Copies of this chain bind each other. A is one copy, B any other.
Amino acid sequence: MIRIPLARMAKIVTGRLLMLVAFPLSFSAFADEGMWTIDNFPTDVVAEKYDVNIGGDWLGKAQLATTRLENGCTGSFVSDSGLVLTNNHCTWGCIRNLSTAQRNLSDEGFMARTRDEELQCPGQQVSVLVDFEEVSDNIASATAGMGEAEANEARKAELTRLESACEEASDGERSCEAVTLYNGGQYFIYQYKRYDDVRLVFAPELDIAAFGGDPDNFNFPRWCLDMSFLRVYEDGKPAQTPDYLRWRAKGPDAGDPVFITGHPGSTDRLLTVAQLKFQRDVILPLWLLRYSELRGRMMAWQYTSDEAARTVQQRILNYENAIKVRRNQLKALQNDRMIERKERQERSLREAVAADPALKAAYGEAWNLINKSLETHRNFYEEHLFIENSAGLAGELYNYAKTIVRGTAEREKPNSERIRAYTDTALPMLEQGLFAPRPIDREFEKLQLTFSLEKMREWLGPDSQWVHTILGKEAPDVLASSLVSGTKLDDPSYRKQLWEGGVDAVGASDDPLIRLAAAVDPGARALRKRYEDEVEALRVRGEEMIADARFRLYGTDTNPDATFTLRVTYGAVEGWQERGRPVEPFTRTSRLFERATGQRPFKVPTSWSTAREDLNLDTPFNFVATTDITGGNSGSPIIAADGALVGLAFDGNIHSIAGDYWFDPSMNRTVGVNTAIILEALQTVYGADHIVAELSFID
């Protein structure tokens, strides 16, 4: 599945997104590569290749029909009453939060028969991009003539100021977010209309939504009904959404050109070779070791009770998905020929810079700056990860504690001096998450906290000052148990009371997790400061220089790396050759039943086996296309040239994972749910005629 993997999401949320400018690859110019911004879409290239006109009107309409789910996904409006189509796996959090020991909506599925039955998803937000403005000149002025660390602070302060000014100018109608494209080549302020009342309308059973589970994830042929419907509300009523997508009942044909709008999370196609090796040698191995072990703990723990199984069922799938992504990223980076190609490309850029005295003076030091940032980062990577990024203090409860301790302190500062996660424009979403009534499984919290404390001790070593500060003479499991048992942070009203009480309430709290977070915070801030001044500042400056050099040398007809902002990609419905054998682009419903074993994850739910005789077994189920997407595109609409919705992106094939570093048009495929099977399921399996009646169809 191509929801943003867990670690990526954290990277984005905490503002440490590694992004780099795009540049012309050595593949054919006609390769279907690129996650294009709406204002720089290659209309002419597409017209030439596919003989269709995807112009401003088309794109503007698609923009307003496309939604961002703030938990790392995409969706699209499919009615004028706020009905949103997205992936089932993008609604797992909502489904879990709404489930109880007595009513497992994941196993049973969910369908509201009336609007009154639609259930609000705690903390869920949905956004639509309505406008954007370039502010590159403001940033250039604000940072002119400064050293790296000073410029890094000034840049952030200016972005914070611009965001607030934008929101004020909109009278609170818009949420404004700074966006960095082309790695500092361009800065923008994006304006979103944000919906914070989001309700669950329909979700099929997990057994059909994620049929094949982890074994089939990123594979194709495939049979997943990975879809849910949500609805956005305003003032307690369904929102009016006149820009929505019409539905093609028969889905796409082989060879059809298709377009995908959505919010791809991040790509790393133009990292320097040194940055790629840092991923290969430092980031990915440590991540994989930790999460493989955590996966194992959850796999064993799920057998301890029915509640444990329910608590981790979807989480295990999420972790397995992230592990599959990471291990295939590592595999991609271990391909020495790929690294050598990247080295050649980098050499050619550096030689072009060196050959021109003006370019050399302006940009020649860029790679050294980045190398220096990596060397420094290497020296305290583990400490920064385990302490400031809380890899050593995992779980929702500690996360609440950290947010409250740090957030209340940050709120005391002037807006432009705050850590950007706590600026005025960031607080509404943060507060919605903090106050949302989500069920907490204390036993699972203990498991996570024990694990993370043990890993902290393992990687920082038993003699680290951090181990002494946090563990003292306690064993990790004993400490975790006492912290989780003793805290009241599972109570949203207690969180709200502390948050609204501010630093005084936090200082007076004897909650053990609040006290621990307060003890960790000063040192963690010192690590953050070191990271910002000695790593981030150099990297961002170096990347800005490379971005500018690329613009100067290669022009601007390129697409930036993904940044969880709106993009459009184009391609066609088309299979590929796997080890010399053709993979057909469509699967059919009949083979779903042949593949079923009766055992999870290959178990067809009862609703489907009951409906089998009534189903049209020729209905196309999943399909592939040559479009260029990545994590964050989960839930993206797959749109035909005439604007009809023909599919719902939910995954890539296994080769798509290397797409983080480069796009291979011969192998990289999007995997989508066909609109035909969604319709067939709604009508024949689920009797959801009221939902079908709300859709609009186009031939």
Contact = CB atoms under 8 A, between A and B. Distances in A.
Contacts of A624: none
Interface stretch (A35-43, A202-210, A595-603, A667-675): A595-603
Nearest to A463: B219
A215 interface: yes
A255 to B, nearest CB: 26
Contact of A473 (B293, B473, B599): B599
Interface in A265-303: 277, 280-281, 285, 288-290, 292-301
Interface string A210-251: 001011100100000000000000000000000000000000
Interface in A431-466: 447, 451, 454, 457-458, 461-462
A304 interface: yes
A587 to B, nearest CB: 13
Nearest to A473: B597
A198 interface: no
Contacts of A292: 288-290, 292-293, 296
A116 interface: no
A300 B474 contact: no
A327 interface: yes
Nearest to A595: B462
B277 A336 contact: yes
Oligomer: number of copies:
2
A526 interface: no
A299 B288 contact: no
Nearest to A327: B289
Nearest to A477: B303
Contacts of A599: 473-475, 478
B214 A458 contact: yes
Contacts of A285: 285, 288, 327, 330-331, 334
A65 B297 CA distance: 45
Interface residues of A, number: 46
Contact of A280 (B299, B334, B600): B334
A256 B665 CA distance: 65
Contact of A457 (B215, B281, B334): B215
Most buried by B among A289, A298, A458, A597: A289
A597 B473 CA distance: 5
B458 A281 contact: no
Contact of A293 (B296, B447, B458, B478): B296
A290 B293 CA distance: 9
Nearest to A277: B336
Contact of A299 (B281, B293, B474, B600): B293
Nearest to A282: B334
A598 B215 contact: no
A637 to B, nearest CB: 29
A673 to B, nearest CB: 20
A597 B299 CA distance: 31
Contact of A461 (B215, B289, B451): B215
A449 to B, nearest CB: 13
A484 B66 CA distance: 52
Contacts of A281: 331, 334
Contacts of A472: 597
Nearest to A597: B473
Contact of A475 (B295, B458, B600): B600
Given A294-B296, A598-B473, A458 B215 contact: yes
Contacts of A216: 462
A544 B628 CA distance: 49
A532 to B, nearest CB: 24
A414 B478 CA distance: 59
A212 B462 CA distance: 9
Interface string A136-155: 00000000000000000000
Contacts of A294: 296
Interface string A321-339: 0010001001100101000
A445 to B, nearest CB: 14
A282 to B, nearest CB: 9
Contact of A288 (B288, B474, B602): B288
A602 B685 CA distance: 59
Contacts of A330: 285
Contacts of A331: 281, 285
A153 to B, nearest CB: 31
A467 to B, nearest CB: 9
Contacts of A280: 334
Nearest to A478: B599
Contacts of A298: 296, 300
Contact of A296 (B214, B299, B334, B597): B299
A215 B454 CA distance: 9
Contacts of A600: 475
A597 to B, nearest CB: 4
B289 A300 contact: no
Nearest to A289: B292
Nearest to A214: B458
A451 B303 CA distance: 13
A184 B295 CA distance: 43
A98 B298 CA distance: 31
Nearest to A330: B285
5 contacts: A212-B462, A289-B323, A290-B292, A292-B293, A474-B597
Nearest 8 interchain pairs by C-beta: A296-B296, A300-B300, A293-B296, A473-B597, A475-B599, A292-B292, A296-B297, A215-B462
Given A281-B331, A289-B327, A290-B292, 20 more contacts: A280-B334, A281-B334, A285-B285, A285-B288, A285-B330, A285-B331, A289-B323, A292-B293, A293-B295, A293-B299, A294-B296, A296-B299, A296-B300, A297-B299, A297-B300, A299-B300, A300-B300, A304-B304, A474-B599, A475-B600
